[in-house]
């Protein structure tokens, strides 16, 4: 039994999650296939002459860690919001098929290299993944609008259909692909965080802040929504507006994460569950804590991914799957034993 949430408890609880996340951000850039000379990094911090260690640290490791944290935070927030919105504890950022559509379109960029184009710093893969996820999201939202905001089962079943269709289409693309393109597709499907510079970080950070803001200002209403739309409506909550606001925010978070990192599983499922077990079900805690916890978990997994078989890197999606599945089973057993 968790105590009622007060301002003091809210600040102290989130401070713990924040410290854990900050520690992960500070520590993980130092891990990788290439050893970083700490003295070189700090000596060149305010100098125009960059050493190899300084270049690797500030142009590769730091952007990668920050991007990974934002991807994890987006998935954690999306998972927490979908679970309360759909009132389904097994809902993930990928339940509605948004990630599958993005993955399918990203794969097309590898199979048909003649389609190559870019917009500013964004590659063909990024743009097509974003476009595919957005298209699936629009389809889901139009379906929700037609069915009515009470039909969460309709959305889940529609997501299953989208996932099945995109899975079949992806197999067809793999059949058409040349061997070298097939390798690229498989690497993308595994999920990974690879970046140089800060352009992709800026894009996802903007989406994360906007969607996170809308979720947080509606966190109290989401607490009411967790007990059912009828009860929430009787307490003055505009359930239809809340439904589409939350769905839209979750879609934005999932789409932006998939566009930069591909499909990375379990982070958006396990972390919200862990937060609820540790800190209660109040969405004013669950939402920000899920973002901080998922961001920290993903960059820690990514640090392992780039060091465990050094100098080769393992796609971080493999690490999260190996780690997430048993953790989820443990959380499930603990919940059943309560």
DSSP state of 60: I
What is the rounded distance in angstroms from the CA atom of residue 231 to the CA atom of residue 233? 5
Whether omega before 305 lies within 30 degrees of 0, making that bond cis, reads: no
Strands (E), 71-195: none
Q: Name the H helices within 193-238.
A: 199-217, 219-225, 229-234
CB proximity list for 291: less than 8 A, separation 6 or greater: 73, 74, 76, 77, 208, 212
Distance of CA 48 to the CA centre of its chain: 36
DSSP state of 4: P
What domains can be seen in the chain, in order of their start residue? 7-336 (1.10.3470.10)
Give me the tens of pLDDT residue by residue for the chain, a chain 338 residues long. 455 678 888 999 999 999 999 999 999 999 888 888 777 777 766 666 777 878 888 888 999 999 999 999 999 999 999 999 888 877 888 888 888 898 898 888 888 877 777 776 677 888 888 888 888 888 887 877 776 655 677 788 888 888 999 999 999 998 988 888 888 888 888 888 887 778 788 889 999 999 999 999 999 999 988 877 778 888 888 888 888 899 889 888 998 898 888 889 889 988 998 898 889 889 999 999 999 999 999 999 999 998 888 778 888 989 998 887 887 777 667 666 66
**Residue at token pair 């498989």:** 186
Per-residue tokens: 151: 């039909």
**Contact status, residue 219 vs residue 288, Cβ threshold 8 Å:** no
**Contact status, residue 220 vs residue 294, Cβ threshold 8 Å:** no
φ, ψ for residue 309, nearest 5 deg:
-125, 40
**Residue at token pair 């971080």:** 316
CB proximity list for 32: less than 8 A, separation 6 or greater: 56, 61, 303, 306, 307, 310
CB proximity list for 165: less than 8 A, separation 6 or greater: none
pTM of the entire predicted model: 0.89
């Amino acid at each position: 039994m968790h105590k009622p949430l007060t301002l003091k408890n809210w600040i102290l609880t989130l401070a713990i999650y924040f410290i854990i996340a900050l520690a992960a951000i500070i520590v993980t850039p130092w891990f990788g296939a290439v050893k970083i000379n700490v003295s070189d990094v700090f000596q060149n911090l305010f100098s125009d002459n960059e050493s190899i260690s300084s270049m690797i640290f500030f142009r590769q490791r730091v952007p990668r860690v920050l991007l990974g944290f934002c991807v994890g935070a987006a998935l954690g927030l999306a998972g927490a919001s979908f679970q309360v919105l759909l009132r389904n504890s097994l809902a993930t950022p990928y339940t509605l098929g948004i990630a599958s559509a993005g993955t399918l379109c990203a794969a097309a960029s590898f199979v048909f290299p003649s389609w190559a184009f870019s917009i500013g710093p964004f590659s063909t893969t990024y743009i097509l993944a974003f476009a595919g996820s957005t298209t699936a999201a629009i389809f889901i939202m139009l379906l929700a609008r037609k069915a009515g905001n009470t039909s969460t089962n309709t959305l889940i079943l529609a997501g299953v259909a989208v996932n099945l269709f995109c899975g079949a289409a992806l197999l067809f693309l793999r059949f058409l692909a040349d061997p070298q393109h097939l390798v690229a597709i498989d690497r993308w499907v595994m999920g990974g965080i690879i970046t140089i510079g800060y352009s992709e970080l800026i894009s996802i950070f903007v989406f994360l802040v906007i969607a996170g803001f809308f979720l947080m200002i509606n966190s109290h209403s989401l607490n009411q929504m967790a007990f059912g739309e009828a009860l929430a409506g009787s307490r003055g909550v505009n359930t239809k507006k809340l439904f589409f606001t939350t769905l839209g925010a979750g879609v934005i978070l999932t789409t932006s994460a998939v566009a930069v990192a591909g499909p990375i599983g379990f982070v958006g499922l396990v972390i919200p569950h862990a937060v609820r077990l540790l800190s209660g079900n109040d969405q004013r805690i669950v939402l920000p804590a899920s973002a901080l916890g998922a961001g920290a978990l993903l960059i820690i997994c990514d640090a392992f991914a780039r060091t465990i078989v050094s100098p080769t890197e393992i796609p971080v999606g493999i690490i999260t799957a190996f780690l997430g599945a048993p953790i989820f089973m443990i959380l499930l057993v603990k919940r059943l034993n309560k």
